[in-house]
Structure 1
Amino acid sequence: MLGFGLCRAAERRISISGSVRHPLEVTQAMLEKLAAAEVHLNEICTDGEFRGVFKLLGVPLRDILSLSGIEKKHTDFDSPVDLAVRVTSSNGQSVVLSWGELYYKSTAEVIVAISAHPIFPNKSIDKFKDKDAYHHMMDILKREIRFPKLVVPSDRYADRSIEAITAIEVVDRCSDVGADPSPEPYSPQVTVGGEGRQPVTFEDFSEGEFITATVHVVGDGKGYHGTHTYSGIPLKTVIEQARVKADVNTVFIVSAPDAHRVLVSWGELFLNPHGDRIILARKEDGKPITRNGKFILIPADDLMADRQVKSVKCIEAVSMESGNQ
């Protein structure tokens, strides 16, 4: 049942900066006017720490960003699909999300919470054999939450749900890259590198590792392109095979020879179920892909197809931890 002790935010401000049209500070009063999303969070981290179960009320992060407006500057690539969003707390903790996971998923996938109700167990203490464990759980459920709190409720683990956030920065880390001028640039292989790692090149993958996804291909520009079935290897499997070290502040820039690129966050790949269905496709509708390269990046659960990349040539890991620019 819902607890009666409502935890609310103190008067704090969040700065919005970076690749935005209008940098600003968001106040508690502004957040309260925008608050429209309620989510459930089982707050358990990858290290096994249990931090409670809550119903939280907040504002979709993308609605907060819309107050400033996204604006890329000094780039040869106008699309926002290679942007990252770094969220930092008052103690310097940070996590990084991709533009795509904010804008190509449902609005409540990522929120900034301003209040919460703990969800207490229905059973009383006499139903628990371990009384100490019961008291420990109750202490956690009654703890003070430091708002505003970033919440990613669909993540399997809550490592990206951080408290007392003070800054949201839209970051364009992709430098201008030379483009292949040919009308149909082709890459016969894909190379994974970055963060000081020796690049690893893959010419193909075992079909035994493939998964299949049916995708309604809808783009911002030309609308519906049909429904297709793609088969390929999960992107996170490729990154694991390349032994890339990464964490909640790492992003992966996936690019083609013509300089088209998109950004995928470590969290959406390794913490979120949607990451299981971000694939490097080798087949489309049962046939091997031969035109525009061997591999197509398919984020199967994106609501729009703008993060698809044909002729994938390079996957670069980039750390975006605060201060590591």
Structure 2
Amino acid sequence: MKKILFLFVAISFITVSCTNNSKTNNAQEETTYKVDSTDATNDFYDNEVTHNLVGKDVEVLGEVANPGKVYFSKLPLRSVIIKEAELKDNNEIAFVGAYRYDGYSIYDILNERILQKANQEEFPPIVDLYVEISNDKGESVLLSWGELYYPANRYKIILATKVMHIVPSKSKDLWPLPTETKLIVGTDLITERNISNPTKIIVKSLDGKFKIQKNLKPLFSKDLKIYEQNNLIETLTQLPKNVKQETYSTVFYGRGRGIHSTSDFIGCELKNILKNNFKITKKNIQNGMFTVVGKDGYRAAYTFSEIMNRNDQAEVLLIDKNNYENAGRFSLFPSADFFSDRAIKALSEIHFKTIKH
């Protein structure tokens, strides 16, 4: 009788525990994705139903010591709100829709992958790394390491597994919803890098060869040469007089040395220097890569899109005067970056090419 009573109590306890766990899980899910259909909160981005997106397994490959499948259950869920637009055949911009996407940031996906740079002996810094993301349809896009790990505003690039309409309160427009998982680049104006159902994330380093001259003095470049597919197309000895100059106030802070200065940066938006030679096209947005190189051989990767196709007005400045260290001309200031590591000094070359494998 005691055994039967004990068994009954044990079963009752397990049943209650399972019920409580179930309620907790349901409560968490409702809290995360609860639809605020009456505008009870001040959040504009919780008013509609969230829809699941279907996708395939994703793997990390390339210049990492621990490649392999991505396990999303171990990663935090991130959200990005975005107005999507695409290029038509006549190069006009067409609005697609406004959405909240939930998913897993490429930042988190790659965070514990151990880098194994192909050019480690020649150039150890990580600022020349980039990522190629592709799907089974033959589409691929590029992201610079700087876009992923250097921005002051992190987690803007995600692999989305859920989507929600952002519906205008008056027009009630319901834009088409995707059905497959999707790469979302939250800083792009024209969102051609938002490809569906990504399956591969490949870490790579730039393959250009440039002479390293450490502690070069004076650190100064008399001109700036611009190349396309290894062909010299323009040489600048000063900033064009017809290009407007901008002043950016900043706290200039390095990952190694810390605070550099609080001086203003005055220069031209780099995109306004480059736009005559490099047009906004789907191919360039998806696969365009700039290699920016200093006189001393220091270089960094910038995608076409992060220079030419931003939606946040956090532009890259080109400066033709010496900086606070009495060095630099020409120099770059990437205003979206938290750290100064990609602010190339004595900039002497900019190389552009499209990369698609």
When normalised by structure 1's length, the TM-score is 0.84
Match of 1:62 among 98, 107, 111: 107
Q: Which moved more, 1:53-62 or 1:304-313?
A: 53-62
- Please report how far the alpha carbon of residue 277 of structure 1 lies from its aligned counterpart in structure 2 after TM superposition: 2.2
Q: CA deviation at 1:254?
A: 0.5
1:277 aligns with 2:293: no
- Please list the CA deviations of residues 120-169 of structure 1 after superposition, one character each: whole Å capped at 9, or x if unmatched: 3444xxxx7xxxxx8xx64x43x44211x111223222222111111111
CA–CA separation in structure 2 for the residues paired with 1:86 and 1:118? 28
Are the structure 2 counterparts of residues 177 and 252 from structure 1 closer, same or farther at C-alpha, using a change threshold of 3 Å? same
Residue of structure 1 aligned with 2:132, choices 67, 82, 86: 86
Instruction: After TM superposition, give the deviation of residue 197 of structure 1 in Å.
Output: 4.0
In structure 2, what is the equivalent of residue 103 of structure 1?
A: 149
Other structure's SS at 1:259 match:
coil
AA in 1 matched with 2:193: R
Deviation at 1:215, TM superposition (A): 2.1
Taking structure 1 as reference, are residues 310 and 261 closer, same or farther at Cα in structure 2, changes over 3 Å only?
A: same
Q: Which residue of 2 aligns with 1:195?
A: 229
Query: How far, CA to CA, are the matches of 2:311 and 2:327 in structure 1?
Result: 29
Residue among 232, 251, 260 paired with 2:267: 232
Distance 2:309 2:221 in 1: 30
**Residues in 1 aligned to 2:325 and 2:274: alpha-carbon distance in whole angstroms:** 23
Residue range with higher mean Cα deviation, 307-316 or 186-195 = 186-195
CA RMSD of aligned residues (A): 2.5
Moved more, 9-18 or 267-276: 267-276
Q: What CA distance in whole angstroms lies between the structure 2 residues aligned with 1:256 and 1:68?
A: 29
Give the alignment partner of residue 145 of structure 1, picking from 171, 179, 190.
Answer: 179
Q: 1:112 aligns with which of 150, 159, 162?
A: 159
**In 2: Cα distance, 1:161 partner to 1:247 partner:** 11
Aligned counterpart, 2:58: 14
Query: The residue matched to 2:285 in structure 1 has which SS?
Result: coil
Task: Spell out the pairing of 1:131-142 with structure 2 (5 A cutoff).
Answer: 138=174, 140-141=175-176
- Secondary structure of the residue that 1:228 maps to in structure 2? coil
User: Which structure has the highest strand share of the two?
Assistant: 1
Please state whether the residue corresponding to 2:286 is helix, strand or coil.
Answer: coil
Q: Does 1:261 align with 2:299?
A: yes
Give the superposition deviation at 1:281: 0.9
Deviates more, 1:180-189 or 1:37-46: 180-189
Cα-to-partner distance string for 1:248-282 (whole Å, 9 max, x where unaligned): 21111110121101111111112214565201112
3-state SS of paired residue (2:180): coil
Distance 1:293 1:235, change over 3 A: same
Can you give the 5+ residue segments of structure 2 that lack an aligned partner in the other structure? 1-36, 38-46
The corresponding residue for 2:354 is 319
Question: How far does the alpha carbon of each residue in 1:74-102 deviate from its partner, in whole angstroms, 9 at most, with x for none?
Answer: 34111111111111122111111111111
1:221-256 CA-to-partner distances (Å, cap 9, x unmatched) read 111112111111221122224457833211111101
CA contact (8 A) 2:314 2:336 kept: no
Between 1 and 2, higher relative CO (CA 8 Å, sep ≥ 6) is seen in: 1
Quote the residue 1:131 is aligned against. none
Give the whole-Å Cα distance in 2 for the aligned partners of 1:254 and 1:67.
27
* Aligned 8 A contact 1:235 1:278 in 2: yes
| CA shift in 2, pair 1:236/1:284, >3 Å | same
| CA contact 2:288–2:354 (8 Å) conserved in 1 | yes
- Further displaced range: 306-315 or 271-280: 271-280
Identity of aligned residues (%): 24
The alignment's TM-score, normalised by the length of structure 2, stands at: 0.77
Amino acid at match of 1:194: E
3-state DSSP class of the match of 1:247?
helix
Flag the structure with larger Rg: 2
Consecutive unaligned residues of structure 1, counting only runs of 5 or more, are 129-133
SS in 1 for 2:87: coil
User: Is the partner of 1:22 in helix, strand or coil?
Assistant: coil
Among 201, 215, 218, the alignment partner of 2:250 is 215
The residue identity in structure 1 corresponding to 2:345 is K
Out of 171, 174, 180, which is 2:204 matched to? 171
